[in-house]
Each structure stands twice: as structure tokens, then as C-alpha cells.
Amino acid sequence: MASVQIRNAVKVFGSTEVLHGIDIDIPDQSFTVLVGPSGCGKSTLLRMIAGLEEITSGEISIGDEVVNRMPPKQRDIAMVFQNYALYPHMTVFDNMGFSLKLAKVDPATIKEKVNAAAAILNLEDFLQRYPRQLSGGQRQRVAMGRAIVRDPRVFLFDEPLSNLDAKLRVQMRTEIRELHQRLNSTSIYVTHDQIEAMTMADQIVVMRDGNIEQTGAPLDLYDDPGNRFVATFIGSPAMNMMGGTVTNEGDITYFRSDHGTRFALQNGSADITNGAALCGIRPEHFTLADTGAENSLTMDVAVVEPTGAEILVIGRNGEQEFQAVFRERHSFSPGQQITLQPRLDKVLLFDEKSGQRIR
């Protein structure tokens, strides 16, 4: 087990800089998720930690030891690949024991370790099969088994669930999380799926275009996003954003949307007045209100999507599209006009140009 520190890491491919000075602290035994849209550099960063890509400048250390120039096999890490990268010509047993065999561990110990890992992952019955004969979920488990057998200082996961179907993905998510709680190994997990990030991480690092947008615990990022990108990237359905201005009227600061809606602001608005701003409201922070109520907006219902546990309503106020989620079973129909009141203590403001949060 070890902590991982990344200091000002830069990666340049040819003449393109893809990572612009990344700083991350990954505590020992934590589960850290790097999340961001495709092309944000998260996989490159993971491969740099693994030693599969060189570090152009900056420093990566594992357990207080700088590993920039260290070849992958000496870094004592294990990696689970997106396509599993199982050796097709080896049985499950040989796949899992390959690293030990290369390290010239004696066969009895290999057998013991592989069997122990297989027991953890429910793979005992498949040890003599070839990868071709396994289902997607089983292959995924073998890939993890290969990592567990080595008992590495750090586990690296590169989008390991993206080749699985939706149901299996949810199941494997739980399994990986359970496994982490059991083994308590430092894990770094790359995904583009914010739900995976939210459900699995101790710490989320949100990345975009080779920069870190925000680092923090899942719920902190959800409740207290530092900028517009994080606010809309984390959470599904996404946070509603509307343009408008902040005005002071008497003692009360208001947000006036471009479509004439007006909310009284409760927090973080003292610094700016009479300025353009973006107002962010999560879909679940709306409640139904009577027509003409204070601090409300009207919405023309366009689509109603009941999921059983909740109802998602998508509609418009003028040009602006809104989504609202209700746990209660309202019956809406398309074309209907409803009045929504946001929970004023949950309304967030962002700078219109920089997208930074206004607190």
C-alpha cells in the first residue's frame, strides 16, 4: 500500500500539450476516480502513473519515491484495462499467475495465490477455461484477479466497465467497491461516467482539456461545485443553467432571468450586483407551486419520463429548457403549464464569462 503524489505533471505528444501541469494527492488506501469527457487526458495520466507513457515534466511519486524514470515492473502497480487485455492463449489460471511466473515464484506459491484470488472473485470453477469461453463479467473478474494476485502497492483501472452492459456494470461497480473495502489498496480509477465516479470514489478528480477542474469528495462536488463545468458534468439529469442578472432591490438581492423570472437570493450574492450571471438549479430542487407564486417560474411541459422511483419532467420557459425531478407521483401531460419554485438555499450562481462559482 502506498500513497501517490502527482506534482505539476505535464505530457506533450509531438507538439501538442495534453496535460498542463496536474497536481493530485492520492492518500494511502483511498479510492480516487479521475473523471472527465473523452480527450481530457485522464487515461494518459493513468498510463503515466503506470509507466506506459513517459512524463514530459513534473514528478510522480508512489509511496514517497519518485518513479519518473522507473520501468513499470519496478513500480509495483497493477492495471486493469478497458478491453481486459487477457492473454487469449492462456487459461484463467495462467493469466492470473503470469506475473508471478515471470518473477520466478515457485509453482506451489503461485497456485496458492491464484486460488486465493479466485476464491475472492468466485472464479474457482473457471480456472482451466480460456478467456474466449468466459462472459464479459467473468473476463472482467479475471482481469481484476490478475491484479489482486500481485498484491501491488497501487491498483490502476482504465475504464474497466465500459465494455459491459448496463446491468452488469452496476453489479461490477459494487463488486469493485466491495473489493476495495476488503483489500484496502490504493486505487486509481479512470472513467468518463460521472455516476461511476459518484458511486465509487472517496475522492473525485474532475478533468477537462488537460486541466483539473475540481478535486473533492463526491457529495462535495455535487453540492458545492467550483465552476459551471463541474456543476453540469456531475449529476444526472444535469443541473439547469439559466442566464440573467443579479440586482439589488432594497435589502434583497434578486436573480432576474432573461425570461423575466425573479428569485430572491439567499447565499453568496453579496459581492456582485447589477452583473450578468448564470443561475444553476438541480432538477430535484424544484417544488410545485401555485400559479403566480413568489420566486417561481413557469414551465410548458414537453416530455414526461416516469422511472418508477421518480418522475422526470422536461419542459421550456421561453427558449430555456428545464428539467425537474419529483419523487411524488404527480400526473403531468405534455402541453400543460406548471409553476416551479426552486429551493432558494440550493440556488448556485456562476460568473457568466469565466464560469467560476460566485459565492
DSSP-derived letter for residue 227 is: B
Question: What minimum distance in Å lies between the beta carbon of 103 and other proteins?
Answer: 6
Is the CB of 98 or the CB of 229 nearer to other proteins?
98
Q: Around Cβ 196, how many Cβ atoms within 10 Å?
A: 24
- Which residues bind to other proteins, rule: CB under 8 A? 50-52, 72-73, 77-79, 81-83, 85-90, 98-99, 102-103, 130-134, 136, 146, 150
Residue 189 sits at the vertex; the CA angle it makes with 188 and 192, to the nearest 5 degrees, is 145
| Minimum CB distance to other proteins, residue 28 (Å) | 21
Question: What are the backbone dihedrals phi and psi of residue 103, each rounded to the nearest 5 degrees, phi first?
Answer: -80, 5
Task: State the minimum distance, in angstroms, from the CB of residue 153 to other proteins.
Answer: 13
Helix (H) or strand (E) holding 100: helix 92-102
Pick the closer one to other proteins by CB: 73 or 359.
73
Choice between 165 and 178, CB closer to other proteins: 165
DSSP state of 104: T
81 vs 336 by CB, closer to other proteins: 81
6 burial via Cβ count (<10 Å: 0-12, 13-18, 19+): buried
Write out the DSSP string of 236-281: SSPPEEEEEEEEEETTEEEEEETTS-EEE--SS-SS--SEEEEEEE
- SS3 call for 217: coil
User: Minimum CB separation from other proteins for residue 252, in Å?
Assistant: 59
- Cβ closest to other proteins, residue 61 vs residue 99: 99
Least distance (Å) from other proteins to the CB of residue 70? 12
